[in-house]
Amino acid sequence: MFDDIQRVHVIGAGGIGASAAAKWFLAEGKRVTGSDAAASDLTRDLERRGIPVTIGHDLEAVRGADLVLFSPAVPDTDPGRAEAAALGVRQISYPQFLGELSRAHTTVAVSGTNGKSTTTAMLGLILEAAGLDPLVIVGSLVPGFPDGNLRHGLGRFFVVEACEYRAHMLNLEPEMVVLTNVEADHLDYFRDLDHIRDTFQTFLDKLKGKGLAVLNADDPESAKLGADRAVRYGAGPAADYVAGERRVAAGHQAFSVTRPASSGGEGIDETLGDLVLRVPGAFNVANALAAASAALELGVPFDACQRVLRDFSGIWRRFERVGEWRGAEIISDYGHHPTAIRGTLEAAREFFPKRRVVLCFQPHQHARTRELFDEFVDALKGADALVLPEIYRVSGRTDENEGEISSRDLAERIRAAAPGLTVRYARDLKEARRELEELVRAGDVVIVQGAGDVDRVARELVA
């Protein structure tokens, strides 16, 4: 696969995916260097592991490399990529790298609009507990993995988060696809929801003849998808793995898992047992059931699923409890879609009943904000108080709507829709922090949410 490669240079090494690739090559005994436009916790982590990262371009490292791996956000006009092209150095993107790994393993790809990272982490940890020594790559940091976004397993299974942006998941050759749900997103690339669903169908078609699809029975768009072999999970009658009534208590939730007789039982329903979670929200019940269903289909005992999910404390920036500030609970969350906002607010109210929920939400990408504007308004007005920093511009992505739309527009529409709600617009993160300092009081639950750089507000408050 990469046996002939000795020296690798990673451009955009501070990306969550590219940094995992850099760590994988290092674990394989390669000499690895990196470069990125800015220093970050991820670049500093690579440095600590022995991977030097240049801030800016490093043409010398490109000249000495056998392979240049680049983040999808890096254009072909980048000086490092241009130098590699001029010298004939082999180049691959991060999604193409995942494709290479998938062809060398039995690949379980976890995809969908929401819940990919958490479901991938849960499933990877379950297969690890079952002794299967999987290779796992996640678009987040998993506390149970020493390398965070990578588990460098040597077994035959490769569990990977399969991103749908620009149809990147089509680089993979999966033998199992776990699909969390299908919603409108990334509309700077996809034409509409039909285009998104059709692309997921193309992905499922790669399973023809042998592979297994694990689909969400409660998701209406997933119900429109087909596969030669499929099992479905959910709370409804169409599910092969059924979640029983959810019980929520202080700091945990639980639900039963049943396999109806029509799904392999001996004429009677088979109750497998309860799954207990320390992470909140109905969305995490769906994530856990997806991971458990996939693991069970791979032959993992149910008690292994129970043990892992009972101890699972979450992952980086997915309802991550960062700490306390002025007597308020500070939570960081990566959610950047209206459905994720609703789920996060609901989870906060369940785990922290009768407490005021203050949401600091940074919209991610102008095109997404414009295309889903009404949905964002409806979701955001569910907070008790709201701070809206300016929209995060995504480098390397089409953002022709910049200048046409602002977080200020969201704030004005929300004030009109919910006159009693405290809504503050912030020009930048520094101003957002000042607004929080005015708003937050002891006992509040503060959610700092978005896929951009707003996470640093949460870290700074707690620090």
Please give the tally of structural domains in the chain: 3
Average pLDDT over residues 365-372: 92
Query: 100 in a domain, yes or no?
Result: no
Average pLDDT over residues 60-66: 97
Q: Are 64 and 140 within one domain?
A: no
pLDDT of residue 104: 96
Chain CA centroid to CA 375, Å: 20
Write the secondary structure of 101-114 as one string of H (helix), E (strand) and C (coil).
HHHCCEEEEEECCC
Is the CB of residue 407 less than 8 Å from the CB of residue 425? yes
User: Of 67-71, 141-145, 258-262, which gets the smallest average pLDDT?
Assistant: 258-262
Model confidence pLDDT, tens digit, residues 230-265: 999 999 889 999 999 999 987 899 999 999 986 555
Distance CA 66, CA 5 (A): 6
Question: Is pLDDT of 16 > 90?
Answer: yes
Any idea what the CATH number is for the domain that residue 363 is in? 3.90.190.20
Query: 398 in a domain, yes or no?
Result: yes
Is the CB of residue 171 less than 8 Å from the CB of residue 103? no
Q: Are 396 and 373 within one domain?
A: yes
Q: Are 259 and 162 within one domain?
A: yes
Q: Take residue 371 and report the two structure tokens written for it.
A: 């295309």
Any idea what the CATH number is for the domain that residue 266 is in? 3.40.1190.10
Domain hosting 155: range is: 105-311
Q: Are 276 and 410 within one domain?
A: no
Q: Are 162 and 203 within one domain?
A: yes
pTM: 0.87
Q: Are 39 and 179 within one domain?
A: no
Query: 379 in a domain, yes or no?
Result: yes
pLDDT of residue 48: 97
Q: Are 307 and 325 within one domain?
A: no
Question: Is pLDDT of 193 > 70?
Answer: yes
Of the three residues 252, 277, 311, the one that is the final residue of a domain is 311
pLDDT of residue 408: 97
What's at 210, amino acid-wise? K
Distance, first Cα to last Cα, the chain: 44
Query: 98 in a domain, yes or no?
Result: no
pLDDT of residue 463: 86
Of the three residues 311, 344, 377, the one that is the final residue of a domain is 311
Q: Are 339 and 401 within one domain?
A: yes
pLDDT of residue 185: 84
pLDDT of residue 101: 98
Question: Is pLDDT of 400 > 90?
Answer: no
Model confidence pLDDT, tens digit, residues 77-127: 999 999 999 999 999 999 999 999 999 999 999 999 999 999 999 999 999
Model confidence pLDDT, tens digit, residues 172-183: 999 999 999 999
Report the side by side order of strands in the sheet with 7-11. Answer: 53-55, 31-36, 7-11, 67-70, 90-93
Mean pLDDT value across the chain: 94
Q: Are 35 and 78 within one domain?
A: yes
Of the three residues 311, 336, 367, the one that is the final residue of a domain is 311
Question: Is pLDDT of 378 > 80?
Answer: yes
Q: Are 324 and 231 within one domain?
A: no
